[in-house]
Amino acid sequence: MDDLLREFLTETTESLAALDLELVKLEQNPNDPGILGNIFRLVHTIKGTCGFLGLPRLETLAHAAENVLGKVRDGELVVTPEAVSLVLASLDSLKAILSALEQTEAEPAGDDADLKASLNAFAEGKALPAAAPVETKAASKVEIAAAAPITAAGPVHSAPEPEPALIEAAVERLALAAEEPAVEAAAPVTSAEKPAPKDLQEAKESAVAAQSIRVNVSLLENLMTMVSELVLTRNQLLQILRSQKDSEFAAPLQRLNHITSELQEGVMKTRMQPIGNAWGKLPRLVRDLSLELNKKIDLQMHGAETELDRQVLEMIKDPLTHLVRNCADHGLEAPVERKKAGKAEVGRIALDAFHEGGHIVIQISDDGRGLPVDKIKAKALANGLASEADLATMSDQQIQQFIFKAGFSTAAQVTSVSGRGVGMDVVRTNIEKIGGTVELKSAAGKGTSFVIKIPLTLAIVSALIVECAGERFAIPQISVLELVRAQAGSETTIEWINNSPVLRLRNELLPLVSLRNLLKLGERKTDALTEAFIVVTQVGTNTFGIMVDRVFDTEEIVVKPVSPILRDVSMFSGNTILGDGSVIMILDPNGIAAATGEAASSEDTHAEAASAQAGASHERVALLVFRAGSEAPKAVPLALIARLEEVDSKTIELSDGKPVIQYRGRLMPLVGMDMSHEIKRDRRQPILVFADSQRSMGLLVDEIVDIVEDRLNIELTTGRAGYVGTAVVAGKSTDIVDTGYYLTQAFSDWFGAKGAAFGEDEQKGKRLLLVDDSPFFRNLLAPLLSAAGYAVTTAESADQALGLCEAGHDFDVIVSDIEMPGMSGFEFAEAVRKSSRWQDTPLVALSSHATPRDFDRGRKAGFTDYVAKLDRDALLQTLIQTTAHGSNAA
Partner 1 sequence: MTEGKIQPKSASTVAGSLDAKDFVTMTVADQLFGIPVLTVQDVLGPQRITRIPIAPPEVAGALNLRGRIVTAIDVRRCLDLPARPENNRGMNVVVDHLGELYSLIVDSVGEVLSLPGDTLERNPSTLDPRWRVVSGGIYRLQGKLLVVLDVTRLLDFRRAEAA
Q: Which chain residues interact with partner 1 by CB under 8 A?
A: 228-229, 232, 471-472, 519-521, 560, 563-566, 569, 571-572, 575-577, 581-585
Name which of 17 and 566 has its Cβ closer to partner 1: 566
Name which of 557 and 724 has its Cβ closer to partner 1: 557
Report which of 98, 99, 198 is spatially closest to residue 158, judged by C-alpha positions: 198
Q: State phi, psi for 91 to the nearest 5 degrees.
A: -65, -40
Report which of 82, 113, 100, 199 is spatially closest to residue 149, judged by C-alpha positions: 100
Q: State phi, psi for 675 to the nearest 5 degrees.
A: -60, -30
Burial class (CB in 10 A: 0-12, 13-18, 19+), 159: exposed
Name which of 343 and 516 has its Cβ closer to partner 1: 516
CB of 591 to partner 1, least distance (A): 10
Name which of 232 and 505 has its Cβ closer to partner 1: 232
Report which of 819, 837, 836 is spatially closest to residue 828, judged by C-alpha positions: 819
Query: Is 350 within 8 Å of 311 (Cβ atoms)?
Result: no
Angle at 691 between CA 689 and CA 696, to 5 degrees: 75
Q: What is the secondary structure of 443-476 as a DSSP string? A: ETTTEEEEEEEEE--SEEEEEEEEEETTEEEEEE
CB of 48 to partner 1, least distance (A): 34
Name which of 585 and 823 has its Cβ closer to partner 1: 585
Name which of 155 and 564 has its Cβ closer to partner 1: 564
C-alpha span between 245 and 248 (Å, rounded): 9
Name which of 567 and 683 has its Cβ closer to partner 1: 567
Q: State phi, psi for 874 to the nearest 5 degrees.
A: -60, -40
Count the alpha carbons within 13 Å of 789 in the hemisphere toward its beta carbon: 17
CB of 19 to partner 1, least distance (A): 37
CB of 569 to partner 1, least distance (A): 6
CB of 560 to partner 1, least distance (A): 6
Name which of 471 and 819 has its Cβ closer to partner 1: 471
Name which of 45 and 225 has its Cβ closer to partner 1: 225
Name which of 282 and 519 has its Cβ closer to partner 1: 519
Name which of 229 and 390 has its Cβ closer to partner 1: 229
CB of 685 to partner 1, least distance (A): 45
Name which of 225 and 492 has its Cβ closer to partner 1: 225
Beta bridge pairs of residue 494:
503
- CB neighbours of residue 752 within 10 Å: 17
C-alpha span between 747 and 43 (Å, rounded): 82
Number of H helices, E strands in the chain: 29, 35
CB of 600 to partner 1, least distance (A): 18
- CB neighbours of residue 213 within 10 Å: 7
CB of 471 to partner 1, least distance (A): 6
Query: Is 501 within 8 Å of 547 (Cβ atoms)?
Result: yes
Q: What is the DSSP letter of 208?
A: T
SS3 content of the chain, % helix, strand, coil (to 5): 45, 25, 30
C-alpha span between 501 and 596 (Å, rounded): 12
CB of 229 to partner 1, least distance (A): 5
Q: How are beta strands 813-817 and 843-847 bridged, if at all?
A: parallel
CB of 584 to partner 1, least distance (A): 6
Q: Which residues contact 442 (CB under 8 A, 6 or more apart)?
A: 370, 371, 400, 448, 449
Q: How are beta strands 767-771 and 471-476 bridged, if at all?
A: unpaired
- CB neighbours of residue 753 within 10 Å: 14
CB of 581 to partner 1, least distance (A): 6
CB of 456 to partner 1, least distance (A): 17
Q: State phi, psi for 730 to the nearest 5 degrees.
A: 50, 40
C-alpha span between 512 and 533 (Å, rounded): 11
CB of 353 to partner 1, least distance (A): 29
Q: Which helix (H) or strand (E) holds 533?
A: strand 532-539
CB of 142 to partner 1, least distance (A): 59
Name which of 239 and 655 has its Cβ closer to partner 1: 239
C-alpha span between 104 and 320 (Å, rounded): 32
Helices (H), 577-670: 589-595, 606-613
Name which of 227 and 320 has its Cβ closer to partner 1: 227
